[in-house]
């Protein structure tokens, strides 16, 4: 249990601070590596999927808006995946697949012009045909001076978008960007409904955004009783054919425990299971427990503004002194894999050719001695009259991170370092570690990664001032490697460049990379056709079906 208060919508410790947390299908990848997503085995072979039924999702998070251009929370994202459709989507192996587009875009040789050909059988829920005009309308909003939503920076490189004919759209960029392939996943908005709404008012245009969203996705919005449930119904004219289910009900519950109880009593079909509740759910008879590696890594970040952590040998010693395999086995019940670099094994950019600093107390002591730290009278290391003692901060209510703090305290004690684990309420915690405060020694946190592996936002020194580089890491070599990596259109070439970034970061150890955790989904025995996606909770809901 995450504690009663651990799971508020914006405060989800697991998803929180997720880099590019959102964007639905709007992130990218091109090849498959190591994906562990599995489909539920079904009895489909004999009779084919059963039609009909109401599928119930139980979740503590309540959505805010159903307009993909403005949402920032995963609860809204889940509903958006049901009612909207984009030009492309990212499949469970992180490959870009055409959706409303007939095929992947044709890209001009200079990487500046991206042309999408649309299917001609796509209808909105109100029966209107979806055409290139709707696509142009949707994507023109991002660059409109009055657009106040969160996606401006994603489209800074977009110069123009035009309809070449009713079913062909051409995007023109100001400079080539490999990342752009991913940005074509936004749910297309109906121009015939929103065309007259001034862009400045679009974010708060509730008549569409919350009361009556119309998309081209597999399910139509039906009703939302706040605090209780939200219902969507099958859209008969969905371009891939009517979904098997009649409806999906998202039921809003008090916390994750309540959701699991509903699964246990057969009143819910699908629940996201937090990692510390996995064993509880495993013990429930008949429940299907699905898992896949999350697109995420957990870490301990060392604040480089603090003189204690400025020497690379010291940071390497800190990692050597902590037995991460033990943490994975005891705290996470083996539901994770030890991490050595800031890139997920799921990504095409993953490269395990990086220095590893495995558990080795003697080596840790050597490195600390080299760096000039000698044992003081109380056994704690001392250098220039300063004791090696610091605080390790994490967010309140996250049991796993609290335990990591305590275990790290014991391990580091062995090499003569004093750790004081501390926890703070999420809001206060984030404010303390973020610019312009940087007020922490070390921090236990996690990054939910974007599908595009661009390391800019976390590791570039230009992100210290205002960005997500909270530990103030600055390495000119890494900066140079990051600069321009997104303009490399050839994936193999880009992977090679990024491999050098991972190597440099692993060697520098600005973080102690802890592990790659798994994500779990609990499904009722009657669920079939479910595909788990490491990044999206509601993935291909039109393939779900319920055994009768």
Partner 1 sequence: MFNYLLRRLITVIPILLGISIISFAIMQAAPGNPAVMTMDPTISAEARARQLEALGLNDPIPVQYVKWLSGVVRGDFGLSYTQRRPVMEMILERLPNTLLLMLVATILAMLVSIPIGIYQARKRGSALDYGATVFSFAGLAMPNFWLAMMLIMLLSVQMGWFPVGGVSTLGADFSILDRLHHLILPALVLATSDMAALTRYTRSSMIDVLNQDYIRTARAKGLVERTVVYRHGLRNGLIPIVTIFALMLPTMIGGSVIVETIFSWPGIGRMFISAVFERDYPVIMAITMIAAVLTVIGNLIADICYALLDPRIEY
Interface with partner 1 (CB under 8 A), residue from 371, 468, 489, 547? 468
The span of 16-24, 326-334, 360-368, 402-410 binding partner 1 (CB under 8 A) equals 16-24
174 binds partner 1 (CB under 8 A): no
- Note if the bond before 100 is cis, omega within 30 degrees: no
Stretch 68-97 residues interacting with partner 1 (CB under 8 A): 72
| Location of structure tokens 């008012």 | 201
Residues 85, 216 contacting (CB under 8 angstroms): yes
Annotate 447-476 with b (16+ C-beta within 10 A) or e (fewer). bbbbbbbbbbbbbbbebbeebbbbbbbbbe
Residue of 469, 468, 444 whose CA lies nearest to 392: 444
Instruction: List the beta strands (DSSP E) in 121-176.
Output: 158-165, 168-173
| Burial state string for 337-376 with b = 16 or more CB within 10 A and e = fewer than 16 | bbbbbbbbbbbbbbbeebeebebeeebbbebbeebebeee
> Is the CB of 119 or the CB of 251 nearer to partner 1?
251
Which of 102, 88, 203 shows the shortest CA–CA distance to 451? 88
Binding residue (CB under 8 A) for partner 1 from 31, 43, 54, 358: 54
* Pairing mode of beta strands 54-59, 247-252: parallel
Q: Which of 466, 477, 480, 493 binds partner 1 (CB under 8 A)?
A: 466
Instruction: Work out how close the CB of 455 gets to partner 1 at its nearest, in angstroms, rounded to a whole number.
Output: 13
| Residue with smaller CB distance to partner 1, 13 or 499 | 13
Q: How far is the CB of 128 from partner 1 (least distance, A)?
A: 27
Q: Which stretch in 38-46, 183-191, 202-210, 516-524 sits in contact with partner 1 by CB under 8 A?
A: 202-210
Q: Which is nearer to partner 1, 270 or 411 (CB)?
A: 270
Interface residue with partner 1, options 140, 434, 462, 474 (CB under 8 A): 434
543 binds partner 1 (CB under 8 A): no
The pair of structure tokens assigned to 104 is: 């992947």
Task: Pick from 174, 228, 330, 353 the residue near partner 1 by CB under 8 A.
Answer: 228
- Cα dihedral 345, 349, 354, 359, rounded to 10, equals -20
Quick one: which segment of 84-92, 225-233, 309-317, 519-527 binds partner 1 (CB under 8 A)? 225-233
Q: Of 65 and 138, which CB lies nearer to partner 1 in the complex structure? A: 65
Of 6-14, 34-42, 270-278, 529-537: span binding partner 1 (CB under 8 A): 6-14
Binding of partner 1 at residue 425 (CB under 8 A)? Answer: yes
Nearer to partner 1, 212 or 313 (CB): 212
Distance CA 333, CA 335 (A): 5
Q: Which stretch binds partner 1 (CB under 8 A): 17-25, 29-37, 158-166, 383-391?
A: 17-25
Q: x/- contact string, 241-280, with partner 1 (CB under 8 A)?
A: --------x-xxxxx-xx--xx-xx-x-------------
**Alpha carbon distance 301, 445 (integer Å):** 8
Nearby residues of 122 by Cβ (< 8 Å), 6 or more positions away: 85, 100, 129, 130, 216, 239
Of residues 15, 17, 158, 482, which one binds partner 1 by CB under 8 A?
Answer: 17
Kindly tell me which residue out of 11, 88, 122, 189 binds partner 1, with binding defined by CB under 8 A: 11
One of 426, 440, 515, 539 touching partner 1 (CB under 8 A):
426
Residue number, 3 or 330, with CB nearest to partner 1:
3
Write 475-484 long-range contacts (CB < 8 A, 24+): 475/504, 475/508, 477/504, 478/504, 478/505, 478/508, 482/454, 482/455, 482/456
Across 286-322, b (16+ Cβ under 10 Å) vs e yields ebbebbbbbbbbbbbbbbbebebbebebbbbbbbbbb
**Which of 342, 302, 337 lies closest to 318 in space, CA to CA?**
302
* Using rule CB under 8 A, residue 14 touches partner 1: no
Contacting residue, 115, 140, 148, 472, with partner 1 by CB under 8 A: 148
Give residue 320's region: left, alpha or beta (phi > 0; psi -120 to 50): alpha
CB atoms within 10 A of CB 230: 24
Tokens (6 digits) for 197: 């709404």
User: Would you count residue 5 as binding partner 1 (CB under 8 A)?
Assistant: yes
121, 204, 236, 352: which one binds partner 1 (CB under 8 A)? 204
Exposure on the CB side of residue 257, measured as CA atoms within 13 A: 6
For residues 259 and 407, which CB has a smaller minimum distance to partner 1 in the complex?
Answer: 259
Q: Which residues bind partner 1 (CB under 8 A)?
A: 4-5, 8-11, 17-22, 54, 56, 64-65, 72, 148-153, 203-204, 206, 210, 226-229, 231, 249, 251-255, 257-258, 261-262, 264-265, 267, 425-428, 430-432, 434, 457, 466, 468
């Amino acid at each position: 249990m995450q504690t009663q208060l651990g799971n508020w919508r914006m405060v989800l410790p697991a998803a929180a601070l997720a880099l590019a947390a959102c964007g639905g299908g709007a992130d990218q990848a091109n090849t498959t590596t190591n994906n562990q997503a599995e489909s539920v085995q079904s009895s489909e072979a004999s009779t084919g999927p059963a039609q009909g039924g109401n599928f119930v999702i139980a979740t503590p998070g309540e959505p805010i808006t159903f307009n993909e251009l403005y949402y920032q929370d995963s609860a809204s994202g889940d509903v958006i995946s049901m009612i909207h459709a984009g030009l492309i989507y990212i499949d469970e192996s992180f490959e870009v697949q055409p959706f409303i587009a007939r095929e992947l875009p044709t890209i001009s040789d200079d990487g500046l012009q991206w042309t999408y050909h649309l299917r001609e059988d796509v209808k909105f829920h109100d029966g209107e045909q979806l055409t290139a005009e709707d696509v142009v309308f949707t994507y023109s909003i991002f660059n409109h001076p009055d657009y106040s939503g969160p996606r401006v920076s994603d489209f800074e490189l977009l110069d123009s978008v035009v309809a070449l004919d009713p079913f062909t759209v051409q995007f023109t960029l100001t400079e080539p960007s490999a990342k752009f392939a991913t940005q074509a996943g936004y749910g297309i908005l109906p121009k015939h409904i929103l065309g007259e709404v001034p862009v400045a008012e679009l974010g708060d245009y509730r008549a569409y955004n919350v009361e009556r969203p119309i998309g081209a996705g597999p399910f139509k919005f039906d009703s939302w009783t706040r605090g209780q449930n939200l219902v969507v119904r099958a859209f008969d004219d969905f371009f891939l054919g009517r979904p098997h289910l009649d409806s999906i009900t998202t039921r809003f519950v008090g916390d994750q425990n309540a959701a699991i109880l509903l699964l246990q009593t057969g009143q819910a079909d699908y629940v996201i299971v937090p990692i510390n509740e996995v064993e509880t759910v495993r013990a429930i008879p008949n429940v299907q427990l699905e898992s896949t590696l999350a697109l995420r890594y957990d870490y301990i970040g060392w604040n480089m503004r603090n003189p204690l952590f400025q020497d690379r040998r010291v940071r390497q010693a800190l990692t050597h002194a902590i037995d991460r395999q033990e943490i994975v086995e005891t705290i996470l019940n083996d539901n994770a894999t030890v991490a050595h670099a800031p890139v997920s094994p799921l990504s095409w950019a993953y490269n395990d050719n990086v220095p590893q600093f495995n558990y080795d107390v003697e080596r840790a002591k050597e490195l600390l001695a080299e760096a000039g730290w000698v044992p003081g009278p109380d056994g704690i290391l001392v250098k220039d009259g300063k004791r090696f003692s610091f605080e390790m901060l994490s967010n309140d209510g996250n049991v796993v991170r609290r335990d990591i703090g305590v275990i790290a305290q014991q391990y580091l004690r062995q090499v003569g370092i004093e750790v004081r684990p501390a926890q703070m309420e999420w809001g206060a915690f984030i404010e303390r570690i973020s610019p312009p405060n940087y007020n922490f020694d070390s921090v236990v946190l996690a990054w939910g990664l974007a599908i595009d592996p661009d390391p800019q936002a976390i590791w570039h020194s230009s992100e210290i001032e205002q960005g997500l580089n909270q530990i103030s890491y600055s390495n000119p070599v890494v900066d140079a490697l990051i600069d321009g990596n997104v303009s490399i259109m050839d994936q193999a070439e880009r992977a090679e460049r990024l491999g050098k970034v991972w190597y440099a970061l692993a060697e520098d150890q600005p973080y102690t990379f802890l592990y790659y955790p798994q994500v779990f989904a609990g499904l009722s025995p009657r669920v079939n056709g479910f595909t788990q996606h490491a990044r999206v909770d509601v993935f291909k809901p039109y393939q779900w079906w319920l055994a009768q």
